[in-house]
């Protein structure tokens, strides 16, 4: 009988090689599964049963982990069990593991005026100001994640065509589109930048971008917390408010499951409700 440690090692290799998961993701799965094995002290896969999983979930909850984090541990275990089933290794059915129900996420959203002030906050007289303007415009134009934007190379961006490919989560490639205002901002920055030999389009760290976005939000007089991810939200809600369908927005955001994208429909549904309240039945007595 194959030990669980050997099965775990083979599962992690499967994630990296066949599923194309990043090294960081594989490391996280390793850490999540290691915690389960240390808790359960099982030596073989058939030792994983509903009783041990129930006790493990209780242990995670009492370890003061928030519900989303607890779910990460259960997702890792569930994927491991699915892998075992594929290998015809006797163990617990993965379908018996349900994720903890999470409260509905609240979206941090920017109004149109706040967004415009933020995008216009950088000074255009310096290289840094032009770079920051280009970064902000790119976030709103493309819906890129911060890691995706930091990984962009100059030669990957075709400003004339206004589109380029980006490799996102899970190694999945998608096409993103550059608006006219973003094209102008990026072109102005490239024209001004001094380190022309750098392959990176924006040679900055994710942390420095987060600080930069916060700085311009304060400068623009925005009181709510603004992050690069808030600009990703702005990108998605702008598309939906202007009539884009959910599947298209899913593709442009690079979401593997449409259920992840559906969070934005709660916002647009609320907008429709407000329109209904404002305009419906006003002539009735």
Active-site hit among 8, 131, 133, 145: 145
Distance CA 273, CA 131 (A): 39
Active-site hit among 78, 131, 232, 233: 232
Catalytic site includes residue 128: no
Which residues, 6 or more positions from 119, have their beta carbon under 8 angstroms from its beta carbon? 133, 136, 137, 140, 181
Active-site hit among 21, 131, 183, 255: 255
The closest alpha carbon to 83, from 59, 40, 48, 50, belongs to 48
Name the β-bridge partners of 165.
Answer: 175
Give the burial string for 158-186 (b: 16+ CB within 10 Å, else e): eeeeeebebebeeeeebebebeeebbebb
Distance CA 265, CA 120 (A): 28
Catalytic site includes residue 117: no
Catalytic site includes residue 56: no
Catalytic site includes residue 264: yes
Active-site hit among 82, 128, 167, 169: 169
- Block residue for tokens 């998605």: 236
Positions marked active-site: 145, 169, 229, 232, 255, 264
């Amino acid at each position: 009988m194959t030990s669980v440690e050997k099965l775990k090692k083979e599962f992690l290799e499967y994630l990296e090689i066949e599923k194309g998961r990043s090294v960081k993701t594989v490391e996280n799965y390793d850490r999540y599964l290691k915690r389960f094995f240390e808790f359960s002290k099982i030596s073989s896969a058939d030792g994983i049963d509903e009783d041990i999983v129930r006790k493990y979930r209780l242990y995670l909850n009492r370890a003061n982990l928030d519900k989303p984090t607890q779910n990460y541990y259960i997702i890792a275990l569930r994927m491991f069990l699915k892998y075992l089933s594929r290998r015809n290794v006797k163990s617990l059915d993965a379908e018996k593991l349900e994720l903890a129900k999470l409260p509905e996420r609240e979206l941090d959203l920017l109004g149109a005026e706040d967004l415009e002030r933020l995008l216009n906050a950088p000074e255009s007289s310096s290289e840094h100001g032009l770079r920051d303007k280009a970064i902000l415009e790119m976030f709103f134009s493309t819906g890129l994640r911060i890691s995706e934007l930091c990984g962009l190379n100059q030669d990957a961006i075709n400003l004339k065509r206004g589109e380029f490919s980006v490799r996102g989560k899970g190694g999945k490639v998608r096409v993103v589109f550059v608006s006219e205002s973003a094209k102008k901002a990026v072109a102005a920055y490239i024209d001004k930048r001094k380190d022309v030999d750098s392959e990176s389009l924006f040679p900055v760290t994710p942390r420095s971008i987060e600080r930069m976005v916060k700085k311009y939000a304060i400068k623009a007089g925005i009181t709510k917390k603004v992050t690069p991810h808030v600009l990703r939200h702005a990108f998605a809600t702008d598309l939906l408010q202007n009539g884009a369908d959910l599947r298209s927005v899913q593709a442009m955001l690079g979401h593997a499951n449409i259920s992840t994208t559906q969070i934005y429909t709660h916002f647009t549904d609320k907008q429709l409700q407000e329109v209904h309240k404002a305009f419906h039945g006003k002539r009735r007595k």
